[in-house]
Amino acid sequence: MEAHGNREGIREALPPVAANPGWVGCRCVVCGREYDTVYAGFVCADCGIDGILDAAYERAGDTAVRLKVEGGDIARGLWRFSSLLPVAPAAIHPAWAVGGTAPLPAPRLARHLGLHSLVIKDDTSLPSASLKDRAAAVAMARAHQLGLDHLACASTGNAAASLAVLASRGGFRSTIFVPAAAPRGKLAQLLLHGAHVIRVDGTYDQAFELSLVAIAKNNWYSRNCGHNPLLVEGKKTAALELAWDLTRGFTSNEDLPDVVLVPVGDGCIVSSTAKAFIELHALGLINRVPRVIGVQAAGASPLAAAWARCGGGQATMSGPAIRDAITPVVPDTIADSISVGVPRNRVKAWRYVAATGGAFIATPDAAIIRTIVDLASRAGVFAEPSGAAGMAGALAAREQGLIGDRDRVAVLVTGHGLKDPGAALGACAMPEPVPPLG
């Protein structure tokens, strides 16, 4: 397959990338220690792997102006929002110009679920068929800025596929660490895209540990969302696009959602969604922050369980208190991309969701399967189980009073059903054959 064949002249031809001068650095979500933009580590030097960092931006007056002007240029993909990203390419190369998925109104599904209105942010049409391409695009641009041509991660799922696909497009090398027991179909897809796949004879956590050692030793760039804080920045662009589209370029708040539902595994996507709205609000581009509701599968819901236990006091808890409140679980759900027992971005996710006035809730697998059918038959969107989990939380959120009668709801659908069609297709009853003519 010559996956590592001659790549000269490809990556080198990519446009130069600079750090966004408005990105001022990162702060540890647990202890608050600050790091500047040249800090070479990914997590807090004091807090270790729990010390996930959080990127911050200058609130210069012209950031809002730039976002309003550049937000309309959808040919730039997610880079039209580079004022709120850590890096900014000088010109957009198609290898990393992902994004620009249109919001899809779903009136039939809204009526079925008893929602006032419903818009789907359908990221299933991105190159690797999941929202994770937004993180991979930023990872590649950042690696290019740092002069690195090799990226690595530990994953068997959407993160790995997004790295393999975009690295192939951009001429980067990619190495992916997987537990040896990972499904062969998923591994084969990574191999097909030219990734170097290392099967580790152990658990996912052991594959992750080995990836960290190999990344440090070989000076690769880490596309592990669980510790690289800049990837969450890339994932923000789904919500930035949604806000841009629904406010007609930040000119009208009328159709801005009141509630946004997001599936939660490690907590990266829910963090980024909440963060996007909070940053736009701080810049005066939207007049309120939608409540972000993180939806976990009931069989992997440590955040939802801890949130319920802390009833009422969630918004005022310190980083260490949040970390300690969340009890690890042994995950058991059909939604494999969010089958996480210890969410690595748990403190960041909790903080941001609380800051929007949102919540974490859980939804059973049966509701996820029903929702896949509803999304397909009433909105024309085929989601994988984890991709449908946000939508599946709508009924529980209604029952708990988290969604009101007049609330405008938006939902992120994060991964395509063709990636994992088994459960959904099993729910379909075959019709009996009829005779032909004559």
40 binds a copy of itself (CB under 8 A): no
251 binds a copy of itself (CB under 8 A): no
217 binds a copy of itself (CB under 8 A): no
Cα angle for residues 311, 313, 317 (degrees, 5° grid): 130
Closer of 90 and 373 to a copy of itself (Cβ): 373
> Which residues does residue 130 pair with via DSSP β-bridges, in sequence order?
415
354-383 positions binding a copy of itself, by CB under 8 A? 372-373, 376-382
210 binds a copy of itself (CB under 8 A): yes
Q: Residue 309 carries which side chain, given as an amino acid letter?
A: R
Q: Are 268 and 346 in contact (CB under 8 A)?
A: no
Q: Are 106 and 120 in contact (CB under 8 A)?
A: yes
Tokens of 109: 């599904």
Tokens of 401: 């009073």
Cα gap 251→240, rounded to integer Å: 14
Q: Are 134 and 169 in contact (CB under 8 A)?
A: no
Closer of 142 and 193 to a copy of itself (Cβ): 193
7-26 positions binding a copy of itself, by CB under 8 A? 7, 9-10, 13
CB of 157 to a copy of itself, least distance (A): 14
Q: With CB under 8 A, what is the number of residues at the site for a copy of itself?
A: 82
393 binds a copy of itself (CB under 8 A): no
Closer of 40 and 430 to a copy of itself (Cβ): 430
> Which residues lie below 8 Å from residue 31, measured CB to CB, with a gap of 6+?
44, 46, 47, 51, 319, 320
Coil/strand/helix, residue 105: strand
The residue from 27, 68, 199, 323 that contacts a copy of itself (CB under 8 A) is 199
The residue from 125, 252, 318, 400 that contacts a copy of itself (CB under 8 A) is 125
Closer of 186 and 236 to a copy of itself (Cβ): 186
What character string, x for contact with a copy of itself (CB under 8 A) and - otherwise, covers 89-118? -----xx-x----xxxx-xx--xx------
- Choices 61-69, 159-167, 298-306, 396-404 (CB under 8 A): range interacting with a copy of itself: 159-167
Tokens of 301: 């819901």
Closer of 7 and 281 to a copy of itself (Cβ): 7
Cα gap 423→417, rounded to integer Å: 10
The residue from 129, 141, 264, 286 that contacts a copy of itself (CB under 8 A) is 129
43-72 positions binding a copy of itself, by CB under 8 A? none
Strands 103-105 and 173-179: unpaired
- Choices 190-198, 226-234, 265-273, 398-406 (CB under 8 A): range interacting with a copy of itself: 190-198
Our CA dihedral for 374, 377, 383, 389, rounded to 10 degrees, sits at -10
Closest CA to 423 of 364, 340, 378: 364
